[in-house]
Each structure stands twice: as C-alpha cells, then as structure tokens.
C-alpha cells in the first residue's frame, strides 16, 4: 500500500496543489492535511493541482492535529532539513522508501510528514515520527520547496517498481576509447553529405526523415574512436571506387 | 566533472530561474541556454533563482542552436516524455547518471538536454543526443515541470556521493512483530502520565523539553510488540510497588 502524505499546517494553496500533483506523478493518492492555514477546500490548491484535483485533493482528509492525522499509521517519517534532529534514525529518501516498501509488504501503513513552507516541522511534530528523512542537498544551497520534497519521496517510492535500465546501452569493447560526440557528429556529417551527393535521400519529401533516422543511428551506437576511423575509411573508399 | 544542463528554447524566465535553483541544490552550476524566448539576461529568471542567480545564471552561456551548445560535450542525454522515441537507449535518471558518472571519471564531458515547457524537445534536437532520459512517472498523470525534471537529474547525479543510510535504523530481532505506531504512542502516554504524577518532570520550565526527549526516545526505538508489553508491565509494577 502506498505511503500516506501528511502536510502539516501548509500555508499556500498553490503549494498544496503542487504537492498533490507531485504525488500523483508517482501514483500516490492519499493526502492528509493538518490545519491548513487558509481552510479547506482551497480553490487555489484545486487550480494548481489540475488533473490531481479529483484523484488526490477531493479525497484529502483534514485533521486538527498531527496526532489525529496519524490515525492508522504504523510507521511515520518526518522530513526535515539537514542536521535538524539527530536523536532518531536519519534517512535519505532512498533508504526511507526502501524501508517503507519492506514495512508495507508486512502490512504496515507508512506516512511521510512534511512541515509548513519555510519554517518546517516543529520539534513536537518530529517527536511523533519514528524516523527522519533529510534530502541530501548542497549544504550551501538547500532550497527545495514543498512540492519538490514530496516529488523526491514519490520518486523513491516508485523507483523499485520500475526497471532501472529499460533499454540498456550497448557496451563498447572494454579498453577501447569511445568516440567523442564531435567525432560522431563529423562521421554523421560525412555520411549525410556523401549520401546526399549520391542521391540516397530520395524522394525529396522523405529526405528530412531519412536524415533524422541516420543521425539517430550514429548517435545511439556505442562507437569507439577506431570504429569511427573505420567508417570514415569505408565511406571514402566507396566514393573512390564508385564516385564521380 | 558535473554534467552541463542545457535548456533548449526555454519560455518563461521563472522556469529558467527555478531550474537554476534545482541545479544548485545538487551542486550543478554549468547552464547553457539555447535561444531563450524572452532573451537574456532575464530579470524574472534572476528573481526566481535567488541565491542561484550569481552561481548559475550569471555564468550561463547562450547559444543560437543546440549544435553550438554541445561544444565540448562528449556524451549528451535528451530528456523526453515516455515512449516518445525508441531508436536510442532509453534511460531512467538513475541509470543515465550512473553511466554519466562513469563517463565523467574517464574524462568525458556529459550534458543533459531539456526541451521547452509543454512541447518538449523536437526530433532534430533528440537526434543530436546519444541517449534518452525518461523519468518513470505514472503514465496516466505525467506532469513534471522543467525544474522538477532538472531536479531529479541533479538528485541522481548526487546520490552516489552521499551515504544511502547515514544513520541506519537499528533493527528489530528477526521474526518478532514490530510495535505499531499507536502502541508506541500509548506506551509513551503511559510513561509520561506516570512520570508526571511521580514528579519526574521537574523543574516545571524544563518539563516540555524533558517530555519531548522522552517521546523521541520511544519513537526512535525499534520496539517489538513484546517489548511494549514488557515496558508497560515494568511501569505498572513500579507504580504498584512504589506508587500512591
């Protein structure tokens, strides 16, 4: 079962809407709100959520306190900025969601708690959680907004259910230097120019599509520097034998 | 060396600023812009970027074409929505950035290319890339914005340099049922109530902090259901022997 997302004292409706949208990108639909500043429902939240309004916001439940919102939850994570609180296990989104998947598989319900914009969760809120999630960001520039923090949580929740490498890159032979992008571009140019001169791109209305296919072909191949030389040489030789 | 982020024909200055901010969260600072719609520099981009303005936007380079922006790049990824293009290797952000780290370690320069808001990259742009990145989102609700797509790329670039489990959760004994959150909350209530009655929380001005510490303590322990029973029993026994 997917984690519940709990927003504690969220301020701007737009941010609630953006968080709902971030959730639904990764299939999360259960939202609980604790004392939203501007009441509920909130038209600005609905406007921002677009398609997530009906699937997430319309079903959101509102509570007066975090204790109430934790009803039915067995394992709760509080999200905080780096270094805020060190008396509990501190997770990255990755390690938290790995644990959350294990807990969920045992039938335990998981929630992730997010604090208000800027101020973040108060210590009393964090005290109710079993563990902390801190996104590892540049310590000199930590500027994730609420929806982005929710996004990374959803992304990590979903990552295991999705193949890491749906269509893996073919590998170059070990030890051989890869061709640079510019070498491959020059190779593509060379072939395109000569094939054009040879009348290959015919009929004219199909030429742009044919050229595009050919560019795609070269750039997706894991060519070595040696391969590129070979292919240039082959082309030159063909022209020498059969060309003008 | 960190990947270069290339934004192709970005429209809203705000989105350029938000992308710069997303980058700097993960230490990415090299931005290249291809034909930004509203020219450059863009005051709205600067306003949105806040602290990332000086470190990212002020150093951004502007190009007339993607071909120009790929100067010095050896390995380029194009980000597209799911299913757009299947003639090249299709990566998740995770697998792309794993490959990018390996390429970077070999001294190759990597770029990730993002298209304009809504329309995304054109086929001619994608043709210049070696591979594709598609974020695995809910196919019924794919709604990542530009800054969010940049954010996930930066997050994946940074993830290996950061510990997955900075402060790992202590583990429960195998085979024992974990206490639920509500069981732990009741245990915390029980102790707090009895300790309060016993005069433990003294002096009064320190009581809130002491209670908070105690709540934190209970909730961070990997207690089993049996542990909770034991601790309730211990408390009851103490009161029976020494209480009122």
List the A61-63 sheet strands across, edge first. A61-63, A31-34, A4-8, A110-114, A75-79, A131-133, A90-91
Find which of A46-55, B155-164, B198-207 is predicted with most confidence, using mean pLDDT. Answer: A46-55
Res B160 pLDDT > 90:
no
Q: Is the pLDDT of residue B226 over 90?
A: no
pLDDT, residue B236, reads 80
Mean pLDDT of A80-105: 82
A4-61 pLDDT, tens per residue?
A: 999 999 999 999 999 999 999 999 999 999 999 999 999 999 999 999 999 999 999 9
Interface mutation target, options B55, B98, B113, B148, chain A, most CBs of A under 10 Å: B148
pLDDT at A165: 42
Confidence at residue A164, expressed as pLDDT on a 0 to 100 scale: 44
Read off the pLDDT of residues B108-150 as tens digits, 9 standing for 90 and up.
Answer: 999 999 999 989 999 899 989 999 999 999 988 989 999 999 9
pLDDT of residue A86: 55
| The pLDDT value given to residue B191 | 87
Q: What is the average pLDDT across B76-99?
A: 82
Nearest CA among A57, A63, A97, A52 for reference residue A79: A97
pLDDT value, residue A45: 97
Position B58 scores a pLDDT of 96
**Confidence at B175, pLDDT banded by 50, 70, 90:** low
Confidence of residue A238 (pLDDT cuts 50, 70, 90): confident
Interchain pair B127, A52: CB under 8 A:
no
Min Cα distance A243 → chain B (Å) is 28
CA–CA dist A134, A153 (Å, integer): 10
Residue B4's pLDDT band, with cuts at 50, 70 and 90, is very high
Q: What is the DSSP letter of B57?
A: G
Confidence band of A156 (pLDDT split at 50, 70, 90): very high
Residue A162 in this model has a pLDDT that exceeds 70: no
pLDDT tens by residue, A120-151: 999 889 989 999 999 999 988 988 999 999 99
More confident residue, A16 or B172: A16
Between residues B41 and B215, the one the model is more confident about: B41
Q: Is B150 on the interface with A (CB under 8 A)?
A: no
Residue B32 confidence (pLDDT): 98
Do A158 and B166 make contact, defined as CB atoms within 8 angstroms? no
Phi, psi of B7 (to 5 degrees): -105, 120
Chain B residue numbers touching A141 (CB-CB < 8 A): 21, 24-25, 51-52, 55
Instruction: Tell me: pLDDT of B83 over 70.
Output: no
pLDDT for residue B172: 53
Per-residue pLDDT, B168: 39
- Cβ of residue B89 closer than 8 Å to a chain A Cβ: yes
- Report B:91-120 residues touching A (Cβ under 8 A): 91-92, 94-95, 99, 103, 106, 108
Q: Which helix (H) or strand (E) holds B31?
A: strand B31-34
ipTM comes to 0.77
Ordered DSSP codes for B151-219? HHHHHHHHHTTS-S-SBPPPPPPTTPPBPPHHHHHHHHHHHHHHHHHTT-S-SGGGHHHHHHHHHHHHH
């Amino acid at each position: 079962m997917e984690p519940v997302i709990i927003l504690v004292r969220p301020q701007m409706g737009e941010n609630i809407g953006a968080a709902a949208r971030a959730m639904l990108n990764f299939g999360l639909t259960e939202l609980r709100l604790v004392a939203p500043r501007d009441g509920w429902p909130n038209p600005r939240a609905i406007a921002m959520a677009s398609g997530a309004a009906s699937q997430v916001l319309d079903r959101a439940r509102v509570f007066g306190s975090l204790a109430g919102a934790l009803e039915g939850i067995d394992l709760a994570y509080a999200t905080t900025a780096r270094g805020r609180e060190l008396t509990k296990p501190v997770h990255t989104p990755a390690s938290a969601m790995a644990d959350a998947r294990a807990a969920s598989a045992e039938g335990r319900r998981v929630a992730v708690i997010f604090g208000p914009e800027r101020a973040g969760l108060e210590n009393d809120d964090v005290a109710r959680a079993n563990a902390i999630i801190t996104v590892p960001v540049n310590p000199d520039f930590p500027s994730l907004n609420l929806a982005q923090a929710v996004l990374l949580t959803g992304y990590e929740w979903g990552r295991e259910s999705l193949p890491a490498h749906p269509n893996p890159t073919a590998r170059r032979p070990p030890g051989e230097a890869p061709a640079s992008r510019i070498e491959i571009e020059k190779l593509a140019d060379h072939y395109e120019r000569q094939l054009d001169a040879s009348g290959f791109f015919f009929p004219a209305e199909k030429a742009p599509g044919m050229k595009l296919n050919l560019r795609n072909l070269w750039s997706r191949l894991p060519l070595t520097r040696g391969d590129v030389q070979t292919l240039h040489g082959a082309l030159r030789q063909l022209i020498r034998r059969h060309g003008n």
